[in-house]
């Protein structure tokens, strides 16, 4: 999963897998702080954050050079995250406090001015925020259950000979990301690659592992923080599913040259270690938690959709399932403190984005979605997704593919890339990543236009009224 998660690191994880692959213990706080910092390249981010809002008009408030002060404060928050790598949580909270005070004292909210307006706004957002918090922390524990199940150690047995071996490994990462999250899938893929290629993994293939993890989560509401945000916000999971059309095409486009490159660089070793056993109880717990989340969401949407905005059913269902399984296998509770910190960071950004004046942003269109894919490589996709959800009117599958997969084009463009680069420090070169992973950008473009040609632009009417009953954003019809 992307936003959150991500997004930015969707949620922090300690990784026994990282220790196995690199020979050292990698602390989750190390992954989290470094991952968040590197998601924001300072000069380009500042330009993007200021230039993108310049297309919008301020709702009711002061603007500088046509840019609403709200957006400038938000950009300053992101800039602070980029500059102060080891204080990202404090910077995010300070930015949230500053934006909140500005809205309270100057512009007010859609629900009204002052503290009362702020309270009403948070009352409108609390279910989404609590749901997202519960899912981010809960899925961190779910991913660890899967890592400890022994399945990642068994997977190498099924890799074929020749260049197809590296390609099938990418396909495995793609599939794993659909029900775990992109970070866990990328780390599992990186760990397996380090083993079967004797740690001689080409940087182009590392880029492909990240791309496979991001593509695999693009069409699943449990595979990436961005798609989970869409699900929580009321987007039908089936409206995201067709992202897999683009993702599957992209997998072939970048996967084949990446596999050939890796096979030429270092052929796969068949010298596997002693047989591993699978802990099917942990696998069952993973399945139980996912089924609980999906069943709860379907039941509420079918039987009592009016209650979905009143209580965080989805997040609570995941935690009820997790706690019911404790007598069978105890979760790795040591992950929780860092997961909570990471989730608070992401929720701070999401809350900031919810207060932005998006009423007169350009109409949602396939051109906008296509551009967001490139922007997401350098600008965190969590607030991008939050703004798109607030605006409404997108083809959610196309948007999910764009913001989810687009970050693969640079190593710091996605949380999965940052996490995998901690396993393989040689990947921390934007120039080398672009040079040897050129097929990622090609895959993104080909996949996007394949989806556009096959299914077309399918915008959905805003699934929610703009906060406070404002006029929904315009939707550009399909051409």
Say if CB 415 and CB 182 are below 8 A apart.
Answer: yes
Q: Tell me the CA distances in angstroms from 245 to 107, 222, 406, 449, one per residue in order.
A: 43, 17, 15, 10
Which SS3 state, helix, strand or coil, does residue 453 take?
A: helix
Q: Over the stretch 116-160, which tens digit does the pLDDT of each residue have?
A: 999 999 998 898 889 888 887 887 888 788 878 888 778 788 888
Distances (CA, A) of 328 to 14, 155, 308: 22, 24, 31
How is residue 107 annotated by DSSP? I
Task: Let me know: does 350 contact 384? Beta carbons within 8 Å.
Answer: no
Q: How far apart are CA 448 and CA 257, in angstroms?
A: 19
Residue-wise pLDDT tens digits, 21-72? 444 334 333 443 344 333 433 333 333 333 333 333 334 578 888 788 888 8
Q: What is the DSSP string of 242-306?
A: THHHHHHHHHHHHHHHHHHHHHHHSPPP----S-----HHHHHHHHHHHHHHHHHHHHHHHH-GG
HSE toward the beta carbon, residue 30, CA cutoff 13 A: 11
Q: What is the mean pLDDT of residues 75-95?
A: 80
74 vs 171, higher pLDDT: 171
Q: Write out pLDDT tens, residues 97-124.
A: 999 999 999 988 888 899 999 999 999 8
Please check the confidence at residue 309 and state whether its pLDDT lies above 50: yes
- Reported as a pLDDT band with limits 50, 70 and 90, residue 359 is low
Cα radius of gyration rounded to whole Å, the chain: 21
Kindly give, in sequence order, each residue whose CB lies less than 8 Å from that of residue 125, ignoring residues fewer than 6 positions away: 351, 354
What is the pLDDT confidence band of residue 316, given thresholds at 50, 70 and 90?
Answer: very high
Predicted local distance difference test score (pLDDT) of residue 118: 93
Report, as an integer, the average pLDDT of 379-385.
Answer: 74
Q: What is the pLDDT of residue 419?
A: 73
Residues 319-344: what's their mean pLDDT? 91
pLDDT at 88 > cutoff 50? yes
Structure tokens at 340: 């909570």
Comparing 467 with 85, which gets the higher pLDDT? 85
pLDDT of residue 85: 62
**Cα 37–352–7 angle (5° rounding)?**
40
Q: Residue 259 CB: number of other CB atoms within 10 A?
A: 22
CB 404 within 8 A of CB 2: yes
Which of 110, 447, 437 has the alpha carbon at shortest distance from 261? 437
Q: Is 207 in contact with 440 (CB distance < 8 Å)?
A: yes
Find which of 184-193, 222-231, 315-324, 413-422 is predicted with most confidence, using mean pLDDT: 315-324
**Contact between residue 141 and residue 14 where contact means Cβ atoms under 8 Å apart:** no
Residues in contact with 426: Cβ distance below 8 Å, sequence separation at least 6, in sequence order: 203, 432
Nearest-angstrom CA–CA distance, 88 and 77: 10
Q: Which residue has the higher pLDDT, 385 or 438?
A: 438
What pTM did the predictor assign?
0.69
Q: What is the overall mean pLDDT for the chain?
A: 79
- Is residue 478 pLDDT above 60, yes or no? no
pLDDT at 82: 61
């Amino acid at each position: 999963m992307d936003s959150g998660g991500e997004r930015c690191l969707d949620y922090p994880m300690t990784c026994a897998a990282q220790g196995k692959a690199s020979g050292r213990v990698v602390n989750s706080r190390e992954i989290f702080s470094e991952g968040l910092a590197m998601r924001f390249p300072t000069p380009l981010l500042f330009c993007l954050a200021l230039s993108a809002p310049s297309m919008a008009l301020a709702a009711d408030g002061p603007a500088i050079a046509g840019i609403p002060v709200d957006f400038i404060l938000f950009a300053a928050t992101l800039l602070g995250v980029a500059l102060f790598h080891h204080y990202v949580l404090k910077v995010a909270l300070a930015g949230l406090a500053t934006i909140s005070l500005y809205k309270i004292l100057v512009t007010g909210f859609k629900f009204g001015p002052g503290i009362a307006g702020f309270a009403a706004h948070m009352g409108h957002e609390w279910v989404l925020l609590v749901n997202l918090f519960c899912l981010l922390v809960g899925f961190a524990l779910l991913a660890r259950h899967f890592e400890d199940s022994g399945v990642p150690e068994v997977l190498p047995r099924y890799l074929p000979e020749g260049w197809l071996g590296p390609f099938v490994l990418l396909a495995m990462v793609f599939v794993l990301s659909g029900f775990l999250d992109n970070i866990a899938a990328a780390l599992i893929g990186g760990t397996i690659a380090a083993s079967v290629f004797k740690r001689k993994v080409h940087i182009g293939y590392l880029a492909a592992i990240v791309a496979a993890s991001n593509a695999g989560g693009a069409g699943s509401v449990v595979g990436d923080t961005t798609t989970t945000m869409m699900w929580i916000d009321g987007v039908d999971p089936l409206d995201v599913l067709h992202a897999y059309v683009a993702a599957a095409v992209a997998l072939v486009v970048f996967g084949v040259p990446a596999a050939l490159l890796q096979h030429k660089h270092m052929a796969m070793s068949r010298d596997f270690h002693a047989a591993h056993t699978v802990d099917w109880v942990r696998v069952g717990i993973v399945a139980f938690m996912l089924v609980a989340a999906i069943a709860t969401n379907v039941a509420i949407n079918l039987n009592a959709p009016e209650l979905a905005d009143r209580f965080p059913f989805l997040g609570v269902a995941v935690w009820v399932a997790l706690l019911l399984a404790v007598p069978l296998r105890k979760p790795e509770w040591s992950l929780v403190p860092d997961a909570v910190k990471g989730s608070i960071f992401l929720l701070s950004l999401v809350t900031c984005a919810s207060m932005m004046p998006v009423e007169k942003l350009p109409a949602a269109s396939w051109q906008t979605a296509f551009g967001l894919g490139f922007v997401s490589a350098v600008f965190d996709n969590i607030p991008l997704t939050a703004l798109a959800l607030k605006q409404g009117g997108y083809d959610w599958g196309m948007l999910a593919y764009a913001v989810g997969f687009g970050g693969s084009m640079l190593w710091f463009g996605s949380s999965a890339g940052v996490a995998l680069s901690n396993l393989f420090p040689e990947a921390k070169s934007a120039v080398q990543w672009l040079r040897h992973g050129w097929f990622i950008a090609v895959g993104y473009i080909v996949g996007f236009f394949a989806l556009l040609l096959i299914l077309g632009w399918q915008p959905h009417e805003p699934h929610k009224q703009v906060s406070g009953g404002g006029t929904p954003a315009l939707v550009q019809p399909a051409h």
